[in-house]
Amino acid sequence: MTFLILLLAFNGFSQSEAEISIGDTLVFYGCSGESFKYIDLYKKTRIEVEGINYDTMSEWTFYNTFFETGDFDVTRLPCNYEGKHAVIKHIMLLETEDGIGQTVVIAMIEGELSAAYIIEEAFINEEIIYIPTE
């Protein structure tokens, strides 16, 4: 699954497009203050089923397995995650209260049993560096 995201760089009125795909890598970047503004952290606090290999899962299989079992702490992603990598596992289009489509990217944070819930404003506001799979 791929999505085309329009990235606006306001520092020169340029805009660029990026086609993001499952398996691509993201780097958390550009955090100011205590936390990222457009990225949430879902950190597993209780695991119901041991031995699940989330690295081999993607799309709805990953989403359902990760989010429908166990418990989580959910917070805005703290700035100390700046520079860490995450792998895109799921991309979905949700409808906002205004009826507008909102792209959401779920990325598994490397080295942790945690996922980042990223809305497209994180890309637009340069909280993410995108590294496409070659």
pLDDT per position as a tens digit, 57-94:
889 898 888 888 888 999 999 999 999 999 999 999 98
**8 pLDDT above the threshold of 70:** no
Tell me the pLDDT of the chain averaged across its residues.
Answer: 84
Question: pLDDT tens for residues 107-121?
Answer: 999 878 899 999 989
pLDDT tier at 9, thresholds 50, 70, 90: very low
* b/e 60-91 (16+ beta carbons within 10 angstroms → b): eebbeebeeeeebeeeebeeebeebbbbbbbb
**17 pLDDT above the threshold of 90:** no
Cα–Cα dist 89/106, whole Å: 6
CB 48 within 8 A of CB 68: no
> Phi/psi at 86 (nearest 5 deg)?
-145, 150
The confidence score (pLDDT) of residue 26 equals 93
